[in-house]
Structure 1
């Protein structure tokens, strides 16, 4: 595992590369307005993580330049509000807080309030709003565009408004921001969260398509929603919010639409940025149980490894997309800033503790400490022990049953002096163990089947969770390994006593089973062409 100093150095060089490509107006010449906003937030985050003010002055200048640009996209503008809020966290400079509030106020004008949802009217949008969709209020939905005829209540805009509101609520303890964050979270949950806890794209409010949902799935929508829920959960400590957060993370972190069986996010948009950033916020805030936090650490570690191993080469400090490679030779501000998020995320990962300490933890065998190159999922419980235990237990039960049957028949023969007959009350088929389930779980809410030789397996048959406003229900689904064994045993005439010289309680299980098999099957293989009796390994341990 790379040391923290090495991780800081790698992130610093990559970040400097991006900053060096900014134009005098604080923008890039190869990407849209939102990309510099993403970079500004990363600059502030790097200073926060390293406890310095390296980029503070540059950020002050860049924000001043960005204010002069007037764009219709709320998605783009809210990136700057997010960056300003992170800068305030890093530097505690009220000027950055003021910038974040300005961004929030602008977006608030295009976010439906409770009063507007009830009246069906909104300034700046000439068409009438539906009073509700699918029985739920539209309050909390943010429009994608400031254009008067723009009909989309957008997941990304609503999610960004949720996050900025939550950050401001945290920074100011102002209830207005907290209420706005809650409304946005409820809007996304009620209208855009599908049954499998993946966020859909937008709600249309055309007059002839009122309340229709664009069901396109983009990973960034779910990523930004998770980040907002993380901050809300940290503020409110609400069980329903925490449950929704957990089930949404499981759905997103196992979805094969944006990652392969190796677990690497393999998309060319900025969805990887939002997923990794959200999970890093969760990891740092530690708002979930320790086993789940360890799972998040491993997931982030896999993305980090992919970025430094596959998305760059030759010490160029240029990073490309997708993170699965191949690396790019030319600089792209979009690709670079998305990768920088993964590089920053690794700075926060705690170094592994020595194994001698982890052995004292009763959960360490279930969720071992991850390194930067270990699989992102906690390894599922080893099924070998359960299977071996089931086999041995079943065989012991079989042995005891045979001994009991033998003793009963012997007693019956001695009392009646008649040849033995088949005991029709005894089972003709003994099944030592019918089913041994080997759950592979994330905590106790979601089971994921871990395949062999993959760094991050995913479950393509993930279960669905139903959600409703104000209450969250999480279905735990999983894949069980079921092993069934049936051994037909024909009742036979009792053979001579082979155990009369031995104390059965002092005999090893293998020897007991060997002798019992000889007793049971004595005379059965009279034909030399028949199958020989099974062999037992006297040296085998259980």
Structure 2
């Protein structure tokens, strides 16, 4: 009886975390022969090409992009001032996170409307309000990108660095919110839920950055908790994302965010996605099939960028071509795939 129960449990566990980590044979050019020195030079040339656009007075480029600048820079340079800035961000953003107490009271001090305590039977605790240019007191939307970007990713990294339970608990709560509310049956991350009436964004609102940022967050949450469910969820979402037809063709090249003339947020979505994949790749050194899959997928994007979408050291927002004139927002997006290819091919 015990043996039978054990076999049944292992069977269920295997089914729960079974993913198709095979490389699609229809993908275009999924191998790379460039040596490390060449890959670094390609990235450096792209950086040099964008540096003249840097506003030295503000330290910013003329481009609208979300970024984990402070904590990413701290990880790279170990500058304590940058870590302090990341913590200050925590202190600000927590005002937009729905807590358990707020769920019980059905109110958030930053909002002028009653919030739902649950949607479709799942608590709303852990969700992070969308912070836009409009008056934030009447913004009702809770988004996967804000929840994944702010809590499940940034605060998981803070928990890893500082080892303070408050960051860890916040990261777990937000990871749970996305898992409970915003994953469709195909394991693709959905966009948003209304915190007041539980209405949803259209099912067609499928964007790479929602999956990418959650992947990044899960890769860190699984490390700081040691809980196998989070790594299993991460693998499921990645296996679905890299083969999704919502943002790429049969050749595997990402087509989302092709905007050569307008600086819109969609151009940068795929760079957030690639950063998430790169983080997951680096944190799972022993999963051979998984690393091969990401290595090949990243190389598909890298080769497309260099073969079809480049003029000199300027890149196109259309990774499947043709090339376009230089723009800051497109060049910033290209840097993420160029950097990811350095990591994935080592």
Distance 1:152 1:261, change over 3 A: same
Structure with the larger helix share: 2
- Which residue number in structure 2 is paired with residue 194 of structure 1? 184
1:338 maps to 2:324: no
In structure 2, the gaps of 5 or more residues are: 1-32, 258-265
Residue matched to 2:40: 8
Distance 2:149 2:272 in 1: 11
Q: 1:17, CA displacement in angstroms?
A: 1.9
1:293 aligns with 2:291: yes
Larger radius of gyration: 1
1:288 CA drift (Å): 5.9
Residue 308 of structure 1 is matched in structure 2 by: 306
Could you tell me which of 160, 163, 178 is aligned with 2:168?
Answer: 178
Q: Cα deviations across residues 297-318 of structure 1 (Å, max 9, x unaligned)?
A: 11111111111111212x2x11
Q: How does 1:110-259 map to 2 (within 5 A)?
A: 110-145=96-131, 147-161=136-150, 162-206=152-196, 210-214=197-201, 215=203, 216-259=205-248
1:132 Cα offset (Å): 0.9
Report the count of equivalent residues: 298
Contact 2:294-2:344 at 8 Å conserved across structures: no
Give the TM-score taking structure 2 as reference length. 0.83
After superposition, the C-alpha distances for 1:66-109 in whole angstroms (9 at most, x for unaligned) are xxxxxxxxxx4xx2xx1111111111111010011111221111
Q: Following the alignment from structure 1 to structure 2, what is the Cα–Cα distance between the partners of residues 220 and 284?
A: 19
Shift of 1:178: 0.7
CA distance in 2, matches of 1:341, 1:226: 16
Shift in Å, 1:287:
5.7
Q: Which moved more, 1:337-346 or 1:144-153?
A: 144-153
1:394-413 → structure 2 map (5 Å cutoff): none
User: For 2:255, what is the secondary structure of its paired residue?
Assistant: coil
Calculate the TM-score normalised by the size of structure 1: 0.54
- Distance across 1 between alignment mates of 2:239 and 2:216: 14
After superposition, the Cα gap between the structure-2 partners of 1:241 and 1:302, relative to the gap in structure 1 and judged at 3 Å, is same
1:523 paired residue number:
none
Give the one of 60, 74, 77 matched to 1:27: 60
**Partners in 2 of 1:305 and 1:237 — Cα distance?**
35
Superposed counterparts of 1:390-429, under 5 Å: none
Q: Deviations over 1:205-247 (max 9, x none)?
A: 34xxx01111321111111111101111122221211111111
Question: 1:275: how far off?
Answer: 2.0
One of 272, 275, 288 as aligned partner of 1:274? 272
CA shift for structure 1 position 27: 3.2
CA distance in 2, matches of 1:277, 1:319: 18
Unaligned runs of 5+ in 1: 35-75, 352-542
8 Å contact kept, 1:234–1:287: no
**Relative contact order (alpha carbons < 8 A, sep ≥ 6): 1 or 2 greater?**
2
**Distance of 1:277 and 1:11 partners within structure 2:** 15
* Structure-2 separation of matches of 1:344 and 1:190: 33
Runs of 4 or more above 4 Å deviation: none
Contact between 1:230 and 1:287, CA under 8 Å: does it hold in 2?
A: no
